Each structure stands twice: as structure tokens, then as C-alpha cells.
Amino acid sequence: MSSTSEGDATLRRRIQQQEEVARFGQLALETNDLEQLLADAASTIADTLGNEYGAVFDLDPDDERALLRRGVGWSDDRVGAATVPAASDCQPGRALEESDPVIVADRRTDDRFDAADLFADHGVVSGVSARIGSADDPWGVLGTYATEPQAVSEHDANFVQSIANVLATAIENRRTKRELETLHDRITDAFYSLNADWEFTYLNDRAAELIDFTGEGLRGETIWDVFEWGADSTLREEYERALETQESTSFEFYYPEPLETWFEVHAYPSETGLSVYFRDVTERVQREHELEQTERRFEAIFEDPNILVGLLEPDGTVIDINGTAMAYIDADLEAVRGEPFWETPWWGEGDDVGDDVREWTERAAAGEYVEFEADLTRPDGNRYTLEGTFRPVTDDDGDVVSIIVSDRDVSERKRRERQLRKSEQRHRTLAENFPNGIVTMFDEERRYTLAAGRMFDELPVSPSDVEGAYVGDVWPDHVSEPLEEAFEAALAGERRATEFEYAGREWIVRAVPITDDNGDVFSGITIAQDITERKEYQRKLEESNERLEQFAYAASHDLQEPLRMVSSYLRLIDTQYGDAFDADGEEFLAFAVDGADRMREMIDGLLEYSRIETRGDPLEPIDLNAVLADVLDDLRLQIEDTDAEIDADALPTVEGDASQLRQVFQNLLSNALEYSGDEPPRVRIDAERRGDRWVITVADEGIGMDPDEADRVFEVFQRLHSHSDHQGTGIGLALCERIVERHGGDIWVDSEPDEGATFSFTLPAVGNED
């Protein structure tokens, strides 16, 4: 079967499940027969999932067992008599403890559970069980089981849980109604009387019990002093109106703290005051509120905003249509109620489907489950595609009593399917011939729609294993988890790359969104490349760099001591024997001292160069304006002495090491001042955003350099001028390059002789700053 056929089958299965949930919810709203509802739940999940057995287990907390109260497929003598343990080593018992359905694919290989006698006697091998009711107060378990191993999908499990949730709501609804009836039987009236001054003149025991919260007695007290909040409330308004009109009043009223109680109040006026009968109806009000919520949940099933649902008589006349469907024709329900369904506006005057709708209705009225798809036109002229079913609803005798029509607008899905097929066709040839890697495509459900590439020959899975599968079903967790994150990012319109190890190789996978003509993302593509050799080269390079750093550090450190000795003796000779030298001797001695000083500066520079990676601070958001200000302050005397003019734009915030970036600016500006030529230095500093990087530029109008020397200036100890012409160690620009590389950037120079030099380097931007 092709991946498209499998996808269509899966979609039909999901639609059927959604329709069954809608049908069962409507049945729960209409019936008062709980036993029949339980039986219908068992048969619904068994028939829909194609299993031999369906069961509703009723929990007996005292016996720690669950009774097979209703079911389908079991021996007749077992329903209503057989029990299973309500313990965690039994599948239904475990379902009572879990928030999600409990799935057993093959009981023979699943050591979590012991086979209950009921299951063993019927050869049950697999199944899914879901709790009915809350974790704190479970009613029982709904389950369906088979005699062969089976793979239960997440959608199948959710379907069983949805039916269980409808059952739980129906059971709670009936329990609430019974409790309300009991409460009505128990309520007894309380009574108090008030005089014209609003003083309590009498309270019976029940009234005192309900409203005398201090226990000190209320007779003689003014009601508005006792209940200060009542002075400006509906209670006072009703009492005053009753006295003024001399007409009785009845209402419900909530007494806040400290009573926090709902009362049903009946007040009868007289010329001398009020006689008030009242009763505590808090439990009733709460139960009515709960019942209202329950009814709303049932209505929510019918009024699902994603599904068009209709209820028809067997002859096809409309009984009810949900709001979602009504919105499609911009009409009121009363305009279509009682009309033949095939003559309603959904089927469009120019679409020629009315006869088909009539045929589908008649087939459903005869007991057939009818699936359909129709291309239709809305009253506003827009085209759309409906996909759905006509499902007959039968009574105990098997007679069709109504028809449920459920469908959904699949126009967008159809459009995206067409776009996805076109996109797959365009990419498949490229993917199948992609060297050193793998190309995949995936849809909005994170399911692979294409998988190809020559590197599949090196993997334990084939393209056929991947296409049609979900990412979590193909790869191990350490691969599927980062891939799922990349898929999510791509479907959200972002590009995402992730790296991981798999099958003894290292991979980089880049996920990219695919958009339609409107720019909306409807799928994604991934390109996976084998980077094992590159990673190995990178590791060897890092090891080599580390050894070089260690060597440079050790060598420069070992040179320090003999150099200090040479410098000390030279200064000693100059101090004690300087007068003994003639002019040439003094010059030679000065050369030696200067050489030793320059050697020390070079060793210090080499030490600093070797410590760039090991002694740097962690990268963090750094304001380059502050860094530049510090550097300009350090160079203030040199700037004043040379009459330099330095012009800087506002600089950005970057990810960096402030101390090292200060060295970069210090070296570049010092060079600009040093190599300015005969004119006062003129330096320009600016920044430009390029993607996720900032390009920082330091340009001068100095003596410049030959373009052929542009690379050599960044090498250690490479100088373009003699020391007598220009001071320096030959390490400054090499140090700048090393620092910029540590920040993940590049540095380069553009220059011509006598036309100045422009040094540029890149640094990582912070977030979305512009």
C-alpha cells in the first residue's frame, strides 16, 4: 500500500472515531437508560477498533475488584458476574491509577500484568483500558480487547478515553440528579420575624442554627447591624419593596462570609414588619451549577467548532444543526428545522449534489453507514470541500430512529495535500541522488512523506522504513528528540540545525520550512549530512592548537628568566661602568638595552597570544560603546599629541569578552595613530548589521600598505616597517585575529599605499538588536 493510501486509511479511521464520539455524546444527552448507555459504549469501542471484546468494569472499592457490568463478545454467563482484580498487576486495575489509557500490545511478552481469569478464559492477548471518572473518585474502567497482538495508536487510545470521558460525565450527571432529589426531601424551613425598625423579634431553632454565627442570639438586634453588607444589597431591596407594596417576595440570595451560604427566601409583609421563611439551598445550587456544567460539556460535544453536526429524522427532515454548520450558510436554525436535509442551503444551488444527499440519507435510514465527500459553494460564492458521514441511530429493536450527519471542511487539507504532492515530486529526484547525506520531507503532523539519499546504504533503516512513519517511531530517543524540536521550529517558520551521533557516524541535520504561495508553512524538509570526518579533523586541530599554546607558553615563560638576567647585567654595566665608555660604547650599550626591552615586549606579547583561549572571560552581552570609551581614554595623551580626529558611530551590543575586545580596539587605533604619515590622524569607526553578525570597521587615512601584504600583517612577529621607523612587536594584529576568531568572527584589511587602511572584523549579535 502506498504512503498516500495508508494516510487516507488513517484519516478515515480518525474521522470515524470522531464521529463515534459525537454520536455517543448525543446519545448520552438523549437517553436516561444508563445500562443501555454502558452497553453501547462497550460495543462502540469494540466495533470501531475491530476487536472481539468490549467491556465496562464497575469498581467495588470495598472488594478491591471490578465487575464486568456490561460488555460485548464475552460468554453470556460472565457479563454481570465475572470480576477482575482492581490492582496494578491487572490491566484494568492499572488503568484506575493512570491518567492515560493503559495499552498492552501483546500480553504474552508484556511482564507488567498477570492475566485475569476472564482474559485467560477468552484468549485475550492485547487491548486498551481507560479510567472512567477522576483519579480521586474513579467509577470504573472502559476497555476493548483482542485475541491477537495489535499496535494501538495514540489516536485509538484517545478515542477510547473520549468515550470513557462521556460515560463519566453521564454517570456524574445522573448521580447529581439523584442527590438533588434527596436534598429536596431533606430541606426544612427556618423562620424569623422583623419589626418595622428591622429588629429581630423571633427566630426558630433552625433559623438560629443557620444565621446566628456568633452564637450570642439575634433577638433585639438590627438585621443591618448584624449583616452590615446587607445594607446595600438585593436582600434589603427585596425586603423594603415587600413592606412598601405589602406584597410577598421570593428569591434566592447568597450570604457571604462568615456564612457563605445560599438561601431560598420567602418574605411576607404585614403592617408591623416581615415574616421570613428561608432554607439552606447551598448544596442544591452547587449541584445545579455542576449539572449546568455537565450539560455544557455535553453541548460542547455537539457544538464542536471543528465539526459540522446535524441530527435528522429517518425521513431526512432536520431536527437540529450545530452552530458551526449554521455559520457556513449564515442562517438561523429555525430556517432549516423541519426541512428536507437535501433542500437546505449547504448543498448549493449549482453544485448538483442534492440528489446525492437524498440518496445518502435514504441509505442511512435503511441502516447503512455512509461516507461522503462533496465539493460545494457557500452563499458568498467561495468553494469548499466537505468530508463526512451519515450514521444511523437505532433503538433496542434495531430500528433507525434518527440519523447523525457529521462532517468537516477539508478544503485547506486538500489544498495542502496537493501542494505537498507537488513539492514531493520536485524534491524526490534531488533527494534520491543526494551524495553524502539524506533528504526527508515531513507534513504538519510530523510524519515523513519523503525519505531518500545515498547514505541510507550505511544505515540500519531504509527509506521505506521512514516514509509514512512519525519521527519518534523511526529513530532512538537521542536522535528523535532533537529532530522533533527541529521539526517544530521548521513548521513555525524557523530554520534549525542540530547535531548528533547515530550508527557510528556524526551527523548535522538542517530543518527548513516549506511555504505555499501565500507564505504559509505547510511542510518541512531536512537535509542530513555525515560530518564524521569533519568532526575528527576539528578535534585533531583543537588538540594541535592546544599543544601549540602549551609550547608557546612554556617557551616564552622559559625565556623570561635568562632575559631578566641579561637586562639586569646590562643596567648594572650602564650604572657602574657607563662613564668608562666612549660615544660608540654608549651607543652599543643603548642598542643592547633597547634590544632586551623589545625582546621582553615580544615575549610578553607571545605569552598573551598563547593565553587568548585559556585566560579569556565567558562571552556575554557587551556594549561596544563602553569598550571604545575606555580605549579612547587610555589613548587620550597619544590622541592629543598627534592632534588626531576620531569619529565613531553608535556601536551595537555584541556577545563578547570585554577585556579582549578592548585589546582589539586598542591595537587597531594605536596602529591608526602610529601609521598616520605626516598628516594628523583621521580615524572613522562604524558598524553594520549583516544577518546574525555585526561588521565593525576601523578606517584611517594613513600611509596604507601593499594589498599583497594584507594577509602577512596578521602573522606573529611579521612587520612591514623597521623598528627604527615605527615602534611595535609584530604581535598586535596577530593578537586581534586570535581574539576575533575566539568570538567566531573574521578580520581582514583593505588598503592601498598612501590611501589609508580599513580594518574590518565580525562579532556575534545579541538577540534581535538592530
pLDDT digits (tens, 9 = 90+) for 194-239: 999 999 998 888 888 888 888 888 999 999 998 988 888 889 999 9
User: 696-739: per-residue pLDDT in tens?
Assistant: 999 998 888 888 777 777 876 555 544 444 454 567 788 888 88
pLDDT tens digit sequence for 303-316: 665 577 788 899 99
pLDDT at 698: 94
Maximum Cα–Cα distance across the chain: 136
> How confident is the model at residue 583, as a pLDDT?
76
pLDDT at 500 over 70: yes
Q: Which residue has the higher pLDDT, 367 or 257?
A: 367
Which of 12-21, 108-117, 708-717 is least confident? 708-717
- Residues 550-595: tens digit of each pLDDT: 656 665 555 556 666 666 767 777 777 767 777 777 677 666 666 6
- Mean pLDDT for 144-168 is 91
Q: Is the Cα dihedral 424, 426, 428, 434 positive or negative?
A: negative
Predicted confidence (pLDDT) at residue 167 exceeds the cutoff of 70: yes
Residue 551's alpha-carbon distances to 393, 547, 548, 599, in angstroms, are 86, 6, 5, 18
What SS3 state is found at 593?
Answer: helix
The pLDDT value given to residue 721 = 44
Tens-digit pLDDT profile for residues 308-365: 778 889 999 988 888 777 777 777 888 888 889 888 877 765 557 888 889 999 999 9
Contact 312, 341 (CB under 8 A): yes
In which residue are the cell numbers 524534491 written? 427
Across the range 665-677, mean pLDDT stands at: 86
Q: Which residues lie below 8 Å from residue 60, measured CB to CB, with a gap of 6+?
A: 66, 67, 83, 86
- Reported as a pLDDT band with limits 50, 70 and 90, residue 746 is very high
Classify the C-alpha dihedral 367-372-375-376 as positive or negative. Answer: positive
pLDDT at 185: 40
pLDDT at 130: 95
Site of grid cell 496537493: 418
pTM of the model: 0.33
What's the pLDDT tens digit per position in 414-436? 776 666 566 655 666 565 656 67
